[in-house]
Amino acid sequence: MTSTSSAGGAPQINPEKVKLVTVLSIDGGGVRGIIPAVVLAFLEEKLQELDGPDARIADYFDVIAGTSTGGLLTTMLAAPGKNGRPLFNAKDLAQFYIDHSPKIFPQKNWILSKIFGTLRMVRGPKYDGKYLHALLGQYLGDMKLDKALTNVIIPTFDIAFLQPTIFSSFELKHRPSKNALLSDIAISTSAAPTFFPAHYFETKDEKGNTRAFNLVDGGVAANNPTLCAMSQVTKDIVLGNDDFFPVKPVDYGKFMVVSIGCGSNRNRKYSAKAAAKWGIFNWLIKDGTAPIIDMFNSASGDMVDIHLCVLFRALRSSRNYLRIQYDQLTGSAGSIDDCSKENMDKLVKIGKDLLGQTVSRVDLETGRNVDVPGEGTNAEQLAKFAKQLSEERRRRQKLSN
């Protein structure tokens, strides 16, 4: 839908041509990124059925937002390859995880890996991140944020200032120091505390001013970046950017949002009586998981989903918001770093099964996902969204001719 990038980095859009503000958002979740990768492959396939084999997700979304592993997916979808088209086809994303996760999360046999992994987490990050850094450098090179093919929003957290740092195409006109290498942004948003080291880098603006970044995983601030993405768009509107959308600041009914999670486990429960006896070690490492990180990520993601459900329902536009999340993860599938073939195959299956599940929305009383009568399956809803995305893109193209 978007055209070429402006000098400020955000692709220019003629206000007269926009009917819907289209947003794609992808949660964090480590190797569980395989789940949204499978869903995205299905969505792109539906778009290709409508508009031909060259259609790519970045052609249809005005904004793609991602945190942690979702930030990696965002980068792969929106970064240009040598031919100027997206670096990855969506159908190749899951295979990327399958091919590279065992080297990103190197493990020996299960028992030794668990023992030595726990010991490493006591004295430092479980993984050194070198393979991931080299891999992103190989694919992204010296490409910066302003080269993204559509507007991207990737949250991180700056531990030097104890505040979120959001890398956003919208901010480049006003904050050129944030025009960082896409590889540095992707490394930063994936630097999960206890799993990967924090990432430091510097940028320089056109005046030679240097800015330092001390960053960790964006999941600390927004594991579900959907609301963050909508806020960035709204902020751009409020500031009067005439190059973007002709939408009033409160006109959220114009948004069409697809938000994809990496899975959660609603059945995993911690006892207050047991947790009352936990020390730092147990909060960080418990039965192969990191409870404090799981709780932060789950809480931030759920709060966003609840807020958006209320917002879209109040505007009588619930059908413009599609949240796809699997909330029954069990065992190794809930891990962010179990990259055994068995587990990765399980995650692929979960992604496929998720497409066949009934569309669900969060129950505002219980916080649990409940089926929505008459909405069909996630696959059927994605097919409907694909049709709307295609129609909006064609409408804009017609107006530009």
Contact call for residues 21 and 256 (beta carbons, < 8 A): yes
* Cα R_g (the chain), whole angstroms: 20
Three-class SS state of 393: helix
Of 272, 70, 270, 89, give the one whose Cα is nearest residue 156. Answer: 70
Q: What angle do CA 15, 145, 198 make, to 5 degrees?
A: 135
Contact call for residues 378 and 359 (beta carbons, < 8 A): yes
Rounded Cα gap, residues 231 and 345, in angstroms? 36
Q: Is 68 a catalytic residue?
A: yes
Report residue 29 CA to chain centroid gap: 9
Q: Is 217 a catalytic residue?
A: yes
Contact call for residues 287 and 61 (beta carbons, < 8 A): no
The DSSP line for 95-125 is HHHHHHHHHHS---SHHHHHHHHHHHHHHS-
Q: Which of 27, 158, 217, 337 is catalytic?
A: 217
Rounded Cα gap, residues 18 and 248, in angstroms? 13
Residue corresponding to tokens 């109040």:
314
Q: Which of 68, 169, 190, 332 is catalytic?
A: 68
Residue corresponding to tokens 């990191």:
290
Contact call for residues 81 and 182 (beta carbons, < 8 A): no
Rounded Cα gap, residues 27 and 297, in angstroms? 9
Q: Which residues are catalytic?
A: 68, 217
